[in-house]
Structure 1
Amino acid sequence: MADKKTKVTKKADTNGSGHHYRADDIQVLEGLEPVRKRPGMYIGSTGVEGLHHLIWEIFDNARDEAMGGFADRVEVALLPDNRIRVVDNGRGIPVDKHKKTKVSALETIMTTLHAG
């Protein structure tokens, strides 16, 4: 049974270490910076499981092309030196200029979060 005379207090403006926690302590990451800084938040981990997730994403894109009737061939090959190749004969990624970003759709997809 806890001693009723014991009281734990914590100042509302500290993070438990005695240091003040203020708006200036909040880090704002923009563009692809959060993905580069904290990749595990996006792929589950930075270990083998995260690598497997990335490979499955690439395979899923190729499979979607085939399931949508845009491809009739998907090839997955395990290569030497821990490499993998995923190939399909689908539509590919457009390379013409994107209306909003003014750069190729390929560059937009690879450099803009939530584009695709």
Structure 2
Amino acid sequence: MNQKLPNATGVLILGIVSLVTCCCYGIVGLIAAIIGLVLANKDMATYNKNPGQYDNYGNLKTGRILCIIGIVLNILSVIYYIYIISAIGTDALLNPELLQERLREMQGQ
């Protein structure tokens, strides 16, 4: 009977979490994706030592791919939020009237 890779399910869950939370300012998803990728690389090294011994390598590969996609999406999300904060300013984020004014300025109205 084959063994299961110890972190394959966790990597899959972290990959899904990183995709679901990519719109939450990018930080939570980025952390989850990086942890998942580190665990995936550790399990891949274990699998490559004895490939015939493990049977859930598919979950590990899928989770690793989701983590990589999650890293890309979360980095794009962080870049977007940094752009928005630099374009609008932190003071406008706390003041709705100033936010509306800055948005109108950006639209050229």
TM range (shorter): under 0.3
Q: TM-score, normalising length from structure 2?
A: 0.23
Q: TM-score, normalising length from structure 1?
A: 0.22
Bigger radius of gyration, 1 or 2? 1
Flag the structure with higher helix content: 2
Higher relative contact order (CA 8 A, sep 6+): 2
